[in-house]
Amino acid sequence: MTEPVPDGSRRVFGLVAGHPEPLTVRLSFWALVIFAATVPLEGIQHLGPLGSAPRAAGLLSSALIVVALIAALPPRRMERTFFFLGAFVVWVVLSNLWTTVPSNTLSRTFTYLQLLGMAWIMWQQLGTTEKCRWLMRGYVAGAGLGCLYTVITRKPHTHGVARFAVGDPNSFGVYVVIGIVMAYHLFLAARDRRARLMYVAFMLLGVLAVFLTVSRTAVIVLGVAGVITIIDRRTLTPLRVAGLVSVVLVAIVVVIKTVTTRQLGRIGTIQTAAQTGLDQRTTYWRLAFNTFSQHPLLGVGANAFRDQAVLITGISRVAHNSFLGVLADMGIVGLALFMLALASAWVQLPQVLPRRLRQTWLAIGVAWLLGANTLTWEHLKVTWFLAFLLVAEVAACRTRNSSDVPAPPVSEPAAKTPIEVASA
């Protein structure tokens, strides 16, 4: 189902051209698309005083959206997810009063304030499903650039088994899996043959990049999210099944020819790693829970768990679990607000989304959940980017569905009987 095109307008690259939107509004939207492309590239730190690529794009988009709102874009009524996130950010700000590491907490406070601004920007701009789809395209493009960088440069991240990625291999691997899920959804929706070929090429490149990260977490996420994404008897026609089998076979051949035996050997130690503590992750999970037990209500302050880890283990490490990390840093109150913010976004998943889009978001949600349980993602842009993209998708579909409801037929007045005519 397509959205109506205003009179005198035409579609260009899927967007409505000729629509009377101010230039500042259109520029801020494309800045937001650029921002979406930088989300899977969050590990890039080569922009000098601007910091990371997402921060630079966020600053640009923030400036343009403010101009757009002043110019002509009316503010939208905020969804409850935004208010829950706002309450969580307020709790982060308050934690500066009791934190054990003031500098860490102050830095994390600025991060969450930026995330709150990003959420507001996304909500103001994403009023249609087509705009949401463009943010998916932006994310896929960014993930594709990251995959090309990974495959071409092959810069190792460890002294043992070489692991190639943009930033942390585990996080980047899951970012790419999320991009693959989005690319498959866009592939099914695309009508242009060249676009479909590009999505297939990205999926092949993405699978290779996931294996080059040598991330056991990412490989597991790839398998689980892939099954959720593909298994659909309504879309798995015989021709499409044949195409998927061909893509999988090509991917297997490329992986075998490119990934070394040592890298594949590390990936194959998933069961051993689970039995030996997931590279000491279980140690830090217990430490995070013990920290919470000593500070159950308030926690030790945002981003202060690292200091607790140094005191106990001598190594500054995160909790490697988003939920336990929030619990140790922000206490039970912070965890409750964090989970309310996320749940209020994801609970809307089955409400109004079309079946195919709902399945896509289910796969994305499972991929994020698996990643967040072994990685510290509560303060990363990918978490809140996905949450508010979903909120915008649901709102756009709800608006479109309500506009598609046909108006009730106007009933003709009943014909007068001969007795009524005579009495008149």
Please write the tens of the pLDDT for every residue from 191-234.
899 999 999 999 999 999 999 999 989 999 999 999 998 887 77
Local structure of 12: helix, strand or coil: strand
Which of 75, 90, 123 terminates a domain? The answer is 75
Are residues 153 and 265 located together in one domain of the fold? yes
Q: Report, in angstroms and rounded to the nearest whole number, the Rg of the chain calculated over CA atoms.
A: 24
Residues above pLDDT 70, as percent of the chain: 79
Most trustworthy range by pLDDT among 116-120, 168-172, 333-337: 333-337
Distance CA 218, CA 234 (A): 28
Rounded average pLDDT over 254-258 = 90
Are residues 136 and 182 located together in one domain of the fold? yes
* 228, part of any domain: yes
* 33, part of any domain: yes
Are residues 83 and 206 located together in one domain of the fold? yes
Q: What is the per-residue burial (b if ≥16 Cβ within 10 Å, else e) of 237-262? A: eeeeeeeeeeeeeebeeebeeebeee
Q: Give bridge partners of residue 15 from the DSSP assignment.
A: 12
* 130, part of any domain: yes
Residue-level pLDDT at 307: 82
Are residues 178 and 66 located together in one domain of the fold? no
Backbone angles phi, psi at 264, to 5 degrees: -65, -35
* 407, part of any domain: no
Which of 48, 75, 102 terminates a domain? The answer is 75
Please provide the DSSP assignment of 253-301 as one string. Answer: HHHHHHS-HHHHHHHTTHHHHHHTTTTTHHHHHHHHHHHHHHSTTT-S-
Are residues 180 and 134 located together in one domain of the fold? yes
Residue-level pLDDT at 71: 55
Domain membership of residue 325 as a residue range:
77-401
Structure tokens at 335: 């965890």
Residue-level pLDDT at 423: 45
Distance CA 294, CA 277 (A): 24
* 351, part of any domain: yes
Neighbours of 353 (CB within 10 A): 21
Q: pLDDT confidence of 23, banded at 50, 70, 90?
A: confident
Are residues 40 and 128 located together in one domain of the fold? no
> How many CA atoms lie within 13 Å of 162's alpha carbon, on the beta-carbon side?
13
Local structure of 17: helix, strand or coil: strand
With 80 as the cut, is the pLDDT of residue 323 above it? yes
With 80 as the cut, is the pLDDT of residue 145 above it? yes
Contacts 24+ apart (CB under 8 A), 357-364: 357/185, 357/393, 357/397, 359/228, 359/229, 359/232, 360/181, 360/182, 360/184, 360/185, 360/229, 361/390, 361/393, 362/228, 363/181, 363/225, 363/226, 363/228, 363/229, 364/178, 364/181, 364/182, 364/225, 364/390
What number of residues does the chain have?
424
Write out pLDDT tens, residues 156-189.
776 678 888 888 899 999 999 999 999 999 998 9
* 412, part of any domain: no
With 50 as the cut, is the pLDDT of residue 90 above it? yes
Structure tokens at 143: 């993930």
With 70 as the cut, is the pLDDT of residue 293 above it? yes
Neighbours of 408 (CB within 10 A): 6
Which range among 84-93, 262-271, 370-379 shows the weakest confidence by mean pLDDT?
262-271
Residue 212, Cβ density class (10 Å: 0-12 exposed, 13-18 middle, ≥19 buried):
buried
With 80 as the cut, is the pLDDT of residue 113 above it? yes
Q: pLDDT confidence of 346, banded at 50, 70, 90?
A: confident
Are residues 170 and 304 located together in one domain of the fold? yes
Specify the higher pLDDT residue, 6 or 127: 127
* 333, part of any domain: yes
> How many CA atoms lie within 13 Å of 111's alpha carbon, on the beta-carbon side?
20
With 70 as the cut, is the pLDDT of residue 110 above it? yes
Residue-level pLDDT at 175: 97
> How many CA atoms lie within 13 Å of 16's alpha carbon, on the beta-carbon side?
16
Residue-level pLDDT at 242: 83
Are residues 20 and 127 located together in one domain of the fold? no
Write out pLDDT tens, residues 122-144.
888 888 999 999 999 999 999 99
Are residues 226 and 360 located together in one domain of the fold? yes
Rounded average pLDDT over 2-26 = 51
Q: Give bridge partners of residue 17 from the DSSP assignment.
A: 10
CB 107 within 8 A of CB 7: no
Tokens 């926690």 sit at which residue?
299
Which of 75, 96, 122 terminates a domain? The answer is 75
Q: pLDDT confidence of 411, banded at 50, 70, 90?
A: very low
Distance CA 234, CA 264 (A): 35
CB 212 within 8 A of CB 164: yes
Are residues 64 and 172 located together in one domain of the fold? no
Residue-level pLDDT at 361: 95
* 406, part of any domain: no
Write out pLDDT tens, residues 348-388.
777 788 888 999 999 999 999 999 998 989 999 999 999 99
Region for residue 402 given its phi and psi (left: phi exceeds 0; alpha: psi -120 to 50; beta: otherwise): alpha
Q: pLDDT confidence of 91, banded at 50, 70, 90?
A: very high
With 70 as the cut, is the pLDDT of residue 16 above it? no
Distance CA 96, CA 109 (A): 8
Residue-level pLDDT at 370: 94
CB 326 within 8 A of CB 334: yes
With 50 as the cut, is the pLDDT of residue 279 above it? yes
> How many CA atoms lie within 13 Å of 144's alpha carbon, on the beta-carbon side?
16
Are residues 284 and 333 located together in one domain of the fold? yes
Q: Give bridge partners of residue 11 from the DSSP assignment.
A: 16
Residue-level pLDDT at 102: 93
Residues above pLDDT 90, as percent of the chain: 42
Are residues 28 and 170 located together in one domain of the fold? no
CA 85, 86, 91 angle in degrees (round to 5)? 95
Write out pLDDT tens, residues 40-85.
988 776 666 656 666 666 666 667 666 666 655 667 788 889 999 9
- How many domains is the chain built from? 2
Distance CA 39, CA 48 (A): 18
Amino acid making up residue 367: A
Give the closest residue to 185 by CA, choosing from 354, 340, 377. 354
